Amino acid sequence: MELLTTNNVWMMICTALVFFMHLGFAFLEIGLTRQKNTINILFKNIFIITVGLLLYCLVGFNLMYPGEFNGFLGFAGFGLDAPLTAEGALDLAYNEGYTYWTDFLFQGMFAATAATIVSGAVAERMKIGPFMVFTILYVGLIYPIAGSWKWGGGFLDSLETPFYDFAGSTLVHSVGGWAAVVAVCLLGSRIGKFKDGKLQAIPGHNIPLATAGVLILWLGWFGFNGGSVLSADPSLTSLTLVTTCLAAAAGGVVAALTSTVLHKNLDLTMFLNGILGGLVGITAGADQMSPTDAVIIGAVAGAIIVFAVSLIDKLKLDDPVGAIAVHLVCGIWGTLAVGIFGNLASGAQFVSQLIGVASYAAICIVSSFIIIFIMKKTVGIRVSEKEELEGLDAHEHGMDAYPDFRLNEH
C-alpha cells in the first residue's frame, strides 16, 4: 500500500508537469508569431486541452487501451468504466504503480499534445472552425488508434523485436509532426513569407515570452519522461531525468553553434528550438541511454534542427514556430537512435524502429490529409487575404490581446 501511494503521488506530480507544458506551448507559439494573432493561438491551445480531455474520456482512452484486440483497432467501450469508489480505483492499480484514474489523466495530457504541435505550424492563416474539427477527429480518434499499436499492446509491440518508444518521440511528437506537414502543404505559406521566390523573415512579436515557453516545456519534460517510468523507482526516474536534461542542453548548444557557423549570427530562436529538439530526440529512449549517449543524441538533434529548418524553407513550407523540424524530424531521429545507442542497440531493434516510424507516417499522413483536404474543398481552411493581413484576433475573435499597446503590423 505504501509503495502504491508513493508511486501514485509521483505519477500525479508528473501529470501536473505535463499539464503545465501546455502553458509552455502557448507561450512559445504566441512569442514566435505576430501580436495580431495572439488571441487566436491562445484560443486554440485552450480548446485543445479542454476538448482533448473530454474526448479522451469519451472514446480515446478505451481506443488506446482496448484490452485484447487484433493489434490494429480495438475499443473497450464509451467512457471510463472503472468502479467510482476509492476502493475500486485501488483495485485497478497497475502492479502497485498507480491507479486507473491516474493512468487516464496522465495519458490524457499526452493526447492533447499532438494537436498542439499542429497549432503552431498552421499559425496565422488557418480558420479556427476547421482547426477545431481537425482537433476533434485527430485527438479523439487518430491519436488513440495509433497509440494502441504500441502502448496498447498492438502489432508494433508484438514484433519479434518489439518497437520501442519510451515516452513518445514517435507516438506523440511525430504523430503531431506528420499532420503538421500535411496541414502546411495544404494551407500554403503566409502572405509575405516568400517574395519572388525568396525567403522573407517574419519575426515573432515577443521573444522573451517564447524563451519562457521553452523553459516551461523543459521543466514539463521532467513529468513527460519521468512519469513514463510509470513508477517512482528511484534509480530509473533519476537516470531518465539526467538523460533528458543532458540531451536538452546538448541540443541547444549544438544548434546555437551550428547556426552561428552557417549564418554568422547568434540566433536565440535556433538555440531555443535546439533545446526542444534535444528533448524530443531523447524521449524515445530516455530510460535506456547512458549520459554520454544522451549528449550525443541531443547534439545530433541540435544540428538536425538547423539543417531541417533550412530544408523546410527551401521547400517553401511555412512553419512559423519550427514545429516540423523539432517534433517530426527530431522525433524520427530519436526513435531510430534507440536502435543505435543504449541498452537496446542492435540491427534487429533498428529495423523495428524503422517499421514503427513508417507505420506512424502512413496512418498520420493519410488520415490528416483526408480530414484537412475534405474541409479545404468544402468549407475552406484558410482565412481571406484581408483577415490574414489585419489579424485573426480581430476577425475571428473580435478581441485584441494588447488593446492599449498595438504596433502597426503588416
pLDDT by residue for the chain (410 residues), tens only, comes to: 677 788 999 999 999 999 999 999 999 999 999 999 999 999 999 999 999 999 999 999 999 999 889 999 999 889 887 555 555 555 555 556 788 888 899 999 998 888 899 999 999 999 999 999 999 999 999 999 999 999 999 999 999 999 999 999 999 999 999 999 999 999 999 999 998 778 898 999 999 999 999 999 999 999 999 999 988 999 999 999 999 999 999 999 999 999 999 999 999 999 999 999 999 999 999 999 999 999 999 999 999 999 999 999 999 999 999 999 999 999 999 999 999 999 999 999 999 999 999 999 999 999 999 999 999 999 999 999 999 999 999 999 999 998 876 555 44
User: Which residues, 6+ apart, have CB-to-CB distance to 219 below 8 Å?
Assistant: 17, 20, 24
Residue reference for cell 491519436: 143
| Count of beta carbons in the 10 Å neighbourhood of residue 103 | 21
Give the CB-side neighbour count of residue 129, counting CA atoms within 13 A: 10
Please say whether the beta carbons of 323 and 177 come within 8 A: yes
The residue among 211, 235, 234, 237 whose CA lies nearest residue 224 is 237
Please say whether the beta carbons of 164 and 348 come within 8 A: no
| Fold topology of 2-397 | Ammonium transporter fold (1.10.3430)
Domain limits, the chain? 2-397
- Residue 275 belongs to what H/E stretch? helix 268-283
Please say whether the beta carbons of 171 and 147 come within 8 A: yes
